[in-house]
């Protein structure tokens, strides 16, 4: 019988398997306060380091690979923590915010900061389509965690990214016609 008692992530778990290191945002998800926000800040920093070295096709390939590797890593780590969407799993924030930054670049630090605030708002508040996406693949506590839950961990953050990009597009369009 599988033990479905939820567990807290530790540094030991982080280092025990590559999936855990990825899903826990290379340690950023271990933050005791606001792991999703810390994971998104880590994503921003990592993007600033990676982006100058990657062309458009390379960034697209990184995002695509990051999706499939992340799906695997989030599923494995959710199973290890016995939770369908553990808050310390922050690869979903990393991937989704990389997508936002990639699509708004070139953007200055203020525009990136606005993107950060909007993304965190949509991800945390779970309004409208984000709430729908969040509920769509959730398993119930105590049930075995499968690939659908791993996908669901990523899916609601990708919808939050799309909402963020929609607001930024409307903002830019409005500014352009004024």
67-123: pLDDT as tens digits: 999 999 999 999 999 988 899 999 999 999 999 999 999 989 999 999 999 999 999
d(CA 28, CA 134): 22
- pTM across the whole model: 0.92
- Which tokens in the block code for residue 9? 């992530």
pLDDT tens, position by position, 9-53: 999 999 999 999 999 999 999 999 999 999 999 999 999 999 999
Does the bond joining 90 to the residue before it have cis omega, within 30 degrees of 0? no
Domain layout of the chain by residue ranges: 11-177
Average pLDDT over residues 48-63: 96
pLDDT confidence of residue 6: 76
Dig out the tokens for 27 from the structure.
């340690």
Which residue has better confidence, 9 or 6?
Answer: 9
Q: Transcribe 67-92 into DSSP letters.
A: HHHHHHHHHHHHHHHT-SS-TT--HH
Q: What's the alpha-carbon Rg for the chain, to the nearest Å?
A: 16
Q: What is the pLDDT of residues 126-166, one digit of tens each?
A: 999 999 999 988 877 667 899 999 999 999 999 999 999 99
Q: Is residue 178 over pLDDT 70?
A: no
- So what's the pLDDT on residue 154? 97
């Amino acid at each position: 019988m599988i033990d479905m008692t939820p567990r807290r992530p530790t540094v030991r778990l982080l280092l025990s398997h590559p999936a855990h290191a990825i899903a826990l945002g290379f340690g950023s998800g271990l933050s005791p306060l606001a792991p999703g926000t810390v994971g998104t800040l880590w994503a921003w920093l990592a993007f600033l380091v990676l982006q100058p070295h990657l062309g458009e096709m390379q960034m697209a390939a990184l995002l695509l690979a990051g999706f499939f590797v992340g799906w695997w890593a989030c599923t494995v780590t959710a199973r290890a923590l016995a939770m369908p969407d553990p808050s310390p799993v922050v690869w979903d924030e990393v991937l989704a915010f990389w997508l936002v930054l990639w699509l708004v670049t070139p953007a200055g630090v203020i525009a990136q900061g606005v993107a950060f605030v909007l993304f965190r708002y949509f991800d945390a508040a779970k309004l409208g389509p984000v709430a729908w996406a969040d509920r769509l693949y959730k398993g119930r506590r105590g049930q075995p965690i499968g690939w659908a839950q791993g996908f669901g961990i990523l899916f609601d953050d990708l919808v939050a990214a799309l909402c963020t990009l929609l607001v930024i597009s409307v903002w830019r369009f409005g500014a352009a016609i004024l």
